[in-house]
Structures are given as C-alpha cells and as structure tokens.
Amino acid sequence: MKLAILGTGFISRFYAESLIAQRRKDVVTMIYGRNKDKARKFAEDYKIPNYSTNLKEAIAHKDVDAVVIGLPNDLHLEAVLACAESKKHPLCTKPLGRNAKEALEMLKAVDKAGIVGGYLEDLCYTPKFLKSLASIQSGAIGEVIWAKSRETHPGPHSEWFWNKDKAGGGAIVDLGCHCIEISRNFIGKDIRPTEVMCWADTRVHPIDAEDNAVALVKYANGAIGQFEVSWSFRGGMDLRDEVMGTEGTIWANNFLRTGFEMFTTGKSGSYVAEKAESSSGWLFPVGDEVHELGYSHMFTDMFESIDKGKQPAETFYDGYIVNAIIDAAYKSAKTKQWEPVIIEDWRGSDEVKIKHELPSYDKEHYLIKEETLPSGEKKTIVKNKKTGSIEKR
Ligand SMILES: NC(=O)c1ccc[n+]([C@@H]2O[C@H](COP(=O)([O-])OP(=O)(O)OC[C@H]3O[C@@H](n4cnc5c(N)ncnc54)[C@H](O)[C@@H]3O)[C@@H](O)[C@H]2O)c1
C-alpha cells in the first residue's frame, strides 16, 4: 500500500510512528502540509520521498493508493471528497464529521466512488479492547446490560480544538466519539442506538463549547452505553472502560495505571506519555503508546481489508452512527430531555431483541439471588411465577 498522510501535526506523527518506525511493507510516499517548511521537515524526519502544500495534488499523486487524514475536524469533509474524486481510499481520523450531516456526505461519497472509507478509531483496536470484544462476543460475560467508557484529560493541545465551529463542539465531539464507539462495539453494532440523555457544561475553560459531559445512550435491546468526558481532568489522560454483563464484568484501565510506575526527580524532563502533566515524582508511563493506543492493529486491519476488498472493523458508516449519537447528545444537553438518535441510513437490524430469559429456580419460581453469608448461611431468594410474591427458600 502506498500512502499519503494529510497534516503534519500531533496525530500525523503518531500515525507515522506506527506506519514507518515499525518497518511495515506499506510505505508512506507523500506528506501534505499547508506550511512548506513543516511538510519538508516531516518528510525528512520520516524519509518520505514527496511532500506537497497542495491537498488535491497530494491525494492525486500517482504513488498514492490510500490517504491517511490527520487534519482538523473542519477539513475532513473536503479531504474525503477530494479522495473520492481521485478514487483513493480515505482513512480518516476521528471524529469523522463535525456532525452527522457531514459524516453522511462522506459516507455517500465513498460508497459512490466504490472505495473503502476507513474510520481511524484507534481505541477500538487496542490490545485490551480487542481481547475484551472477543470475550464478549464469545459470551464470556453474557448479555451486556451497561457499557461505560471514560476519556478525560486536561484539554487539547491546539487552538482549533477550542473553537466550537472548527471542532464541531467541545469534549463530547473530541473525546465522546471514542467512548461512544467503544460502548457500541461492546453492546453490538447491529443494535440500533435509539435515544440519548446528556448533561454538558462549561465549568473551567473560557470557551463556548462544553468542557465536561456525561451521557446515557439507550439501545433498542435495552442496553445502556454511558460516556464520561472532560477537558478539565487533572493528572494526565484517563481512559477507562467498564462493561457489566449478566454473566460477568470487564474493567480496563488503558492508560494511567497500566501496571508501569516510575519515580524520577525530573532532572531530564523527558516525555512521559500523552497529556501527562508532570515529568517528576511518581509517574505512570505507557510502554509503547503507538501499540497500546491501537494504531498498529488499526492500520493492519485497514490495509488487509483494502487488499482483500472487504470492509475494515471500523468504517465511515460507524463514524456516521457515532456522529448521529453525538448530535442527539448535544440536543439533549440543551433540552434536558431524552432525544432520539436520527439515523437516515441505518444498516443494522431492526428486529427488536428480546431480553434474556429470566433464570428459573424450579417450575413455579424464578431465581432472584443466591448468596452465602459470613455466618455460612446460604440464602436463596425466589419469585413465584404465578403470584409474583418474593420468598426466601
Ligand atoms: N486518538 C486519535 O485518534 C486522535 C488523537 C488526536 C487527534 N486526533 C484527530 O486528528 C485530527 C488532527 O488533530 P491533531 O491533534 O493532529 O491536531 P494538530 O493541531 O496537532 O495538527 C493539525 C494539522 O493540520 C494542519 N492544519 C490546520 N489548519 C489547516 C488548514 N486550514 N489547512 C491545512 N492544514 C491545516 C496543522 O498545520 C497541523 O499540521 C483531528 O481530527 C483530531 O480529532 C485523533
């Protein structure tokens, strides 16, 4: 695969580390940046043979098959439309659009051009996520009742994120997009997200957009996805997932407490981890950020899928559904009501999933709870199927 990267900022360097530093057979042949010096420096740093300050020319270049889009949110649509025009596969960072309207336009453009639209949702490719998903899909935790995902940090590193119009919102569109897609995978992508209840507020920063939010996303089978996001959390980047199923539980701490702790007086002042607020004292570094944040598995899936003519695990369609949920969250934050998730192009199932069967104790009773107490006494609580009375056995 011959690749162009669009953008020379923060995420493009992460992508380059994953694509080039790991000596893949896929090669980056082009880097686009609007600033010539930065584009040339990026090309030198990663030994990329071509650089350009012209977006369309970079995409259309003969040595480019697929395009990795690492530009600010307001430029994703323009970049994707240019890819569709040149029939180059766009692989776009998150969020796909600033809203569902933009995302749908991108989805339609790739469908029409017959190219693969890959959604670069790295947190759905971390080793811990992949293992959790495989366990859930094999039935290890039963039916998922509630899937919570949290991303909080002290706020983004570039000015455009803080501009509501350019970014499409604040912490919800920036961080909530990850959490929504993580929960949606765990609950089941085939199940329709139906409505959202959201609290959002601007508590700390002098901005128009929200810097803190919590929301519940309801799914057609009764499951709840929950996201918690903040741009004012102190202490680094907190990425945590919790899944509650009828037969089990998953807790994953993806970044702050991964089991690696280090103390330093801070004399070297060296890099610790993304959004770390300190480089001295007890620190929580991340062994291999590129791998642990999912970039390696993500690109492998993208390129294998394009090679085989199939869809990757995370597509533009997924990005569109995420944007539709975010739109409902913003609406709910204003109206303070549950708001419907409006999906014009739903491709999942519309069969209403029947909730799991109630556990039976015997012919006449359902089992509610069994527990052994500290005294050794075993308690069994049942419900009479006919009368509804709750009894102790
Ligand atoms: N985990 C992730 O997947 C992740 C993490 C960080 C950022 N992102 C996403 O990556 C995208 C870029 O974010 P970033 O953190 O790299 O931002 P950044 O500000 O570090 O880099 C943005 C790049 O775009 C360039 N740029 C800005 N305005 C431009 C314009 N008008 N025309 C052409 N180029 C322009 C900048 O010069 C810079 O090279 C965003 O969509 C963001 O949400 C994803």
Greater pLDDT, 338 or 256? 338
CA distances from 39 to 6, 21, 160, 280 (A): 10, 18, 19, 33
Is the per-residue pLDDT at 359 higher than 90? no
Q: What is the DSSP string of 127-174?
A: HHHHHHHHHHHTTTT-SEEEEEEEEE-S--SSGGGG-HHHHSSSHIII
Ligand 1 center from residue 379 Cα (angstroms): 58
Q: Within its chain, how far is the Cα of 165 from the centroid? A: 21
Ligand 1 center from residue 175 Cα (angstroms): 14
pLDDT classification of 22: cutoffs 50, 70, 90: confident
Is the per-residue pLDDT at 158 higher than 80? yes
In the chain, pLDDT over 70 holds for what percent of residues? 99
pLDDT at 43: 98
Atom of ligand 1 nearest to the CA of 74: 41
Ligand 1 center from residue 72 Cα (angstroms): 4
Taking CA atoms only, the protein residue closest to ligand 1 atom 30 is 34
pLDDT at 354: 61
Rg over CA atoms, the chain: 23
Is the per-residue pLDDT at 352 higher than 80? no
pLDDT at 195: 98
CA distances from 98 to 78, 142, 322 (A): 12, 35, 11
Taking CA atoms only, the protein residue closest to ligand 1 atom 1 is 122
Ligand 1 center from residue 292 Cα (angstroms): 21
Give pLDDT tens digits for 213-254.
999 999 999 999 999 999 999 999 999 999 999 999 999 999
Rounded mean pLDDT, 184-206? 97
Rounded mean pLDDT, 52-74? 98
Q: Is the CB of 158 under 6 A from ligand 1?
A: yes
Atom of ligand 1 nearest to the CA of 73: 41
Is the per-residue pLDDT at 356 higher than 80? no
Rounded mean pLDDT, 131-143? 96
Is the per-residue pLDDT at 268 higher than 90? no
The structural domains of the chain, ordered by start, are: 2-94 (3.40.50.720), 123-291+312-340 (3.30.360.10), 357-393 (no CATH)
pLDDT at 60: 98
Q: Is the CB of 170 under 6 A from ligand 1?
A: no
In the chain, pLDDT over 90 holds for what percent of residues? 91
Rounded mean pLDDT, 264-269? 89
Q: Is the CB of 73 under 6 A from ligand 1?
A: yes
Atom of ligand 1 nearest to the CA of 76: 41
Give pLDDT tens digits for 86-132.
999 999 999 999 999 999 999 999 999 999 999 999 999 999 999 99
Ligand 1 center from residue 298 Cα (angstroms): 18
Atom of ligand 1 nearest to the CA of 123: 1
Residues forming beta bridges with residue 32, ordered by sequence position: 6, 52
Q: Is the CB of 97 under 6 A from ligand 1?
A: no
The top-scoring range by mean pLDDT among 16-20, 177-181, 282-286 is: 177-181
Chain-wide mean pLDDT for the chain? Answer: 96
260's CB contacts (< 8 A; 6+ apart) are: 284, 285, 286, 287
pLDDT classification of 313: cutoffs 50, 70, 90: very high
Ligand 1 center from residue 10 Cα (angstroms): 6
Is the per-residue pLDDT at 21 higher than 90? no
pLDDT at 357: 77
Is the per-residue pLDDT at 258 higher than 90? no
Atom of ligand 1 nearest to the CA of 160: 19
Handedness of CA 109, 111, 113, 117 (dihedral sign): positive
Is the per-residue pLDDT at 338 higher than 90? yes
3-class secondary structure, 387: coil
pLDDT at 148: 98
Judged on CB neighbours under 10 Å (0-12, 13-18, 19+), 171 is buried
pLDDT at 100: 98
Q: Is 250 left (phi over 0), alpha (psi -120 to 50) or beta?
A: beta
Ligand 1 center from residue 6 Cα (angstroms): 9
Among 71, 99, 126, 161, the mutation site with the greatest number of ligand 1 atoms within 8 A of its Cβ is 71
Is the per-residue pLDDT at 353 higher than 80? no
Query: What does residue 235 show for φ and ψ, rounded to 5 degrees?
Result: 120, 10
Ligand 1 center from residue 71 Cα (angstroms): 4
pLDDT classification of 23: cutoffs 50, 70, 90: confident
- Report d(CA 96, CA 91) in Å as an integer: 10
pLDDT classification of 292: cutoffs 50, 70, 90: very high
pLDDT at 153: 98
pLDDT classification of 355: cutoffs 50, 70, 90: low
Q: Is the CB of 70 under 6 A from ligand 1?
A: yes
